[in-house]
Amino acid sequence: MPADLALISLGTTPGLVRSDEAFAELVRAAGVSIDVVPVRIGPSGKLRRGAAAVDLVEALAARRALRGVRARAIVFSAVTTALLARPRVPYAIRFDATAAVNRPGAGGAWQRRAERRALAGAAVLMPVSRGAEQAAGGVRVPIPIAPVAGAAERDIDAATYAADPRKRGLELVARAWEGGRLVVGGIDRDAGRRWLERHGVAEPQGVEWAGRLPHERWLDLVGRARIFVNASRWEDFGIAPMEALSAGTPLVTVPTAGSFEALPLARELAPELVSDDLGAAIRAGLAVDRAAYAERARELLRPYRPEAVLATLTERVLPELLPS
């Protein structure tokens, strides 16, 4: 018997993998069957140079993944996976950014054209962030953020994530750090030091390179940190900062571009912790009343909790995709 839904899962980053896993869990919790169909890039991945080529390779791989899929409806995990697809059943698109926003100029021309067709043909659009919702409309179905245990006593001064040091602005964090225990996740010491040397930034005192960790181990570190520091140049949803808020860990951040879901929450919680002057924001974060901050953060995260997202999925999305 075919599944109710098939999720065409791009999974090219840890964030996309976690997002797709969380979505599949919600669908099953709603009593609906779902097959997660991974997109295999294969040898063509070597051709991914520049945005146009990256999107073409991924869109072609997603179209191949769709072949032979049997389901009552299809869910594409990103706009890219739907650009060249022609499903014969109703489909939805989950996305945290659109090509119209993040593929400007001549290098994004074909993606923007293909995106208009893909979005127009969808039975339902599922933006995961406020920015994506503003760009394309639809029913906002956030990536669910589960409660994260935060330690009562914090033995780490700050945590930051830098799996992609360019995107995450690792050198900006290192330049702003003034001492204390700073744990950097997602990158090992050798790669981190090479990146800093390339940008003429000294390795800061007190830095610990945690490397790539199991998710639960990473959340344990975030829950032990006094602050979480974000210097990303661009974010779509941004799972790591949202998880930090869930752990009651104050978010210190630059005003990151993109549909960065945590940014308006951070500004509402403590506007002095959002600044291009990252050093000043770090000092303010280390002095903030963390207990009061954590209590307010719990309230702001209510719409992102799994039970709230499940209610939206059950009441507003599944009836459109799987009509009786």
Give me 312's structure tokens: 């939206």
Measured at the alpha carbon of residue 2, what is the angle toward residues 87 and 144, in degrees to the nearest 5?
Answer: 75
Q: Indicate the domain borders of the chain.
A: 3-143+305-321, 156-303
Neighbours of 94 (CB within 10 A): 27
Average confidence (pLDDT) over 177-198: 97
pLDDT for residue 38 is more than 70: yes
Residue 16 and residue 152: Cα distance in Å, rounded? Answer: 31
Q: How confident is the model at residue 104 (pLDDT cuts 50, 70, 90)?
A: confident
Q: Where are the beta strands (DSSP E) in 220-297?
A: 225-230, 251-253
Neighbours of 127 (CB within 10 A): 25
3-state SS class at 187: coil
Give percent of the chain with pLDDT exceeding 70: 98
Same-fold call for 3-143+305-321 versus 156-303: yes
261 to each of 8, 222, 241, 300, how far by Cα in Å?
Answer: 24, 18, 9, 12
Report the candidate in 62, 61, 122, 129 with the shortest Cα–Cα distance to residue 96.
Answer: 129
* Helices 239-246, 290-300: inter-axial angle, 10-degree rounding: 120
Query: Cβ contacts of residue 232 below 8 Å, gap of 6+?
Result: 167, 168, 169, 238, 253, 254, 256, 260
pLDDT in tens, 210-259: 999 999 999 999 999 999 999 999 998 999 999 999 999 999 999 999 88
Q: How confident is the model at residue 42 (pLDDT cuts 50, 70, 90)?
A: confident
H/E element holding 288?
A: none
Residue 288 and residue 74: Cα distance in Å, rounded? Answer: 46
Residue 313 and residue 207: Cα distance in Å, rounded? Answer: 42
Residue 161 and residue 228: Cα distance in Å, rounded? Answer: 9
Residue 195 and residue 190: Cα distance in Å, rounded? Answer: 9
Q: How confident is the model at residue 44 (pLDDT cuts 50, 70, 90)?
A: low
H/E element holding 132?
A: helix 130-136
> Which fold would CATH assign to domain 3-143+305-321?
Rossmann fold (3.40.50)
Q: What is the DSSP letter of 257?
A: B
- Provide the edge-to-edge strand list for the sheet that holds 34-38: 34-38, 3-9, 71-76, 91-95, 124-127
State in words which class domain 156-303 has.
alpha beta
SS (H, E, C) 261-278: CHHHHHHHHCHHHECCCH
pLDDT in tens, 247-289: 999 999 999 998 899 999 999 999 999 999 999 999 999 999 9
Q: How confident is the model at residue 318 (pLDDT cuts 50, 70, 90)?
A: very high
